[in-house]
Structure 1
Amino acid sequence: MATSALLGFLADVREHNSLAWMHANEDRKKAAQQEFLALVQTCIDDLAAQGEQVGHLDPKSLVFRINRDTRFSNDKSPYNPVFRAHISPAGRAPVPVGYFVSIAPGNSFAGGGLFAPRLKEAVKLVRDAIAADPETFLSLVEDEAFRARFAFIGMPLKRMPQGYDAENPAAEYLRCTCWSIEEAIADAVVEDEKALRERLLDSFLSMRAFNAYLNEALEGFAFPMRS
């Protein structure tokens, strides 16, 4: 199986989203998973060649499960018809921020930034950094080429959070609960292994400064201890 077949497999998962279908197509599932792991490995290799500290990573540790947790959902479909991975020096965890690859029929993208609204301390660290120096953040996200290329996902609050200035030049970003970006990748690119590899690397390099800003803001962050 090559990347050209990934979309076909995922489209079939979407159409026949059941345990019985997946069990009957276990070989296709394993082949697709191996192909996606190979794609993630190329991303690791290409980023490492650009100086990112990711060469030590095992792609298996970066990939999200295709199985869904349906315990608290009205949608009982057992599978997510998408292959996803997050590549950062610490692996799959959202902090430090890294590079996200998501493959799905009609909805593939390269991503970056922080998407972890439940990590309140991480959100506060980024919000404080933006509040203290809005010009630096705005120079990144308001850059014409950056805005033309990436969709910004902020999940903003309706009101300015307490303690922040509504007159701050970056006020709209202070209301955000996440600061992440995505660049859509057409199915035709996904189906071409060489084109996909080149597009992902080019996208990742174009978001590098944005990620670096967030990681500087997040320096010292520690994940909450489980009770």
Structure 2
Amino acid sequence: MSDDGFTKMLDRAQRFYAALAQNNSRDWFEPRKAAWKRDIEAPAKLFADLVAEDLARLTRTPHRPKVFRINRDIRFSKDKSPYKTMLAMLWAPVDPGPSFYFGIEPAATFAGLGWPGFDKDGLARFRALIDRHGDDLTEAMGASGGSLSEIGPDPLKRVPKPYAPEHPHGDLLRRKSFALGGPLPEGWRETGDGLVAALTDRFEALLPVREVLIRDS
């Protein structure tokens, strides 16, 4: 199979966001906005649509693709940098369950599964699932090759009630978010299959984790 062309989009994005990180201002971005929309945002949206088709096939559930906007919400932030320095995409299921995520930073990628944070009811359901299926979840997490990201709110310092302080899955119970994943595997470029195939393969490795996470939904 020949490369799908989106590898060039990833390379352009990494170069662009590396430069943006050094020049995070409207004066720098505006003259380059049209090129960013043409060479990065537009192909990223097409890429997200194609990956959504693969996820629907893998999960038997439609997923809504989203490419995050480049502008930061700085209204309540001490950091007034106007632009994000990474390209981020998300695929949210139409049925209850975790979303898939792909982030392209200047020197790294992250392909993952989970929730960046929970509302009150969602957090209660997540903790109940950990209590019932924690063994199965940790086994699936280990087999996936992924690791937990620190995205989202800081975890609690103690295991929340009514769960025992010495609960075997206390580390998971203390979390207020769940994002499991990691970079695209080394050597994915050498296969020649392209970025869609590489990301889909990475997401496929996370499917057993997803199956546990939706077990009681």
TM-score bucket of the superposed structures, by smaller chain: 0.7 to 0.9
Structure 1 ranges of 4+ moved more than 6 A: none
**Is 1:174 aligned to residue 173 of structure 2?**
yes
* Deviation (angstroms), 1:186: 7.4
**Is 1:216 aligned to residue 215 of structure 2?**
yes
5+ residue gaps, structure 2, are 1-5
What is the alpha-carbon distance in structure 2 between the residues aligned to residue 170 and residue 199 of structure 1? 32
Once the two structures are aligned, what percentage of the paired residues are identical?
A: 25
Match of 2:3 in 1: none
Select which of 5, 8, 18 maps to 2:25. Answer: 18
What is the alpha-carbon distance in structure 1 between the residues aligned to residue 156 and residue 115 of structure 2? 16
* Deviation (angstroms), 1:139: 2.4
- Partner AA of 1:16 in structure 2: N
What is the alpha-carbon distance in structure 1 between the residues aligned to residue 185 and residue 83 of structure 2? 23
Return closer, same or farther for 1:167/1:110 CA change in 2, 3 Å cut-off.
same
Select which of 83, 97, 100 maps to 2:87. Answer: 83
* Deviation (angstroms), 1:188: 8.4
TM-score by structure 1 length? 0.79
* Deviation (angstroms), 1:193: 8.2
Q: Would you say the 8 A contact 1:18–1:79 is kept in 2? A: yes
Q: How does 1:192-203 map to 2 (within 5 A)?
A: 194-203=193-202
Q: Would you say the 8 A contact 1:111–1:180 is kept in 2? A: yes
Match of 2:129 in 1: 129
Select which of 39, 42, 46 maps to 2:54. Answer: 46
The range that moved more, 43-52 or 158-167, is 43-52
Q: What is the SS of the residue equivalent to 1:202?
A: helix
Aligned length: 206
- Partner AA of 2:46 in structure 1: A
Q: Give RMSD over aligned pairs.
A: 2.7
* Deviation (angstroms), 1:88: 2.4
Q: Would you say the 8 A contact 1:160–1:175 is kept in 2? A: yes
- Partner AA of 2:41 in structure 1: Q
TM-score by structure 2 length? 0.82
Q: Would you say the 8 A contact 1:98–1:211 is kept in 2? A: no
What is the alpha-carbon distance in structure 2 between the residues aligned to residue 174 and residue 26 of structure 1? 43
Q: How does 1:69-218 map to 2 (within 5 A)?
A: 69-90=73-94, 96-117=97-118, 119-141=119-141, 143=142, 145-146=143-144, 149-153=145-149, 155-185=154-184, 194-217=193-216
What is the alpha-carbon distance in structure 2 between the residues aligned to residue 136 and residue 101 of structure 1? 25
Return closer, same or farther for 1:84/1:187 CA change in 2, 3 Å cut-off.
farther
What is the alpha-carbon distance in structure 2 between the residues aligned to residue 185 and residue 193 of structure 1? 14
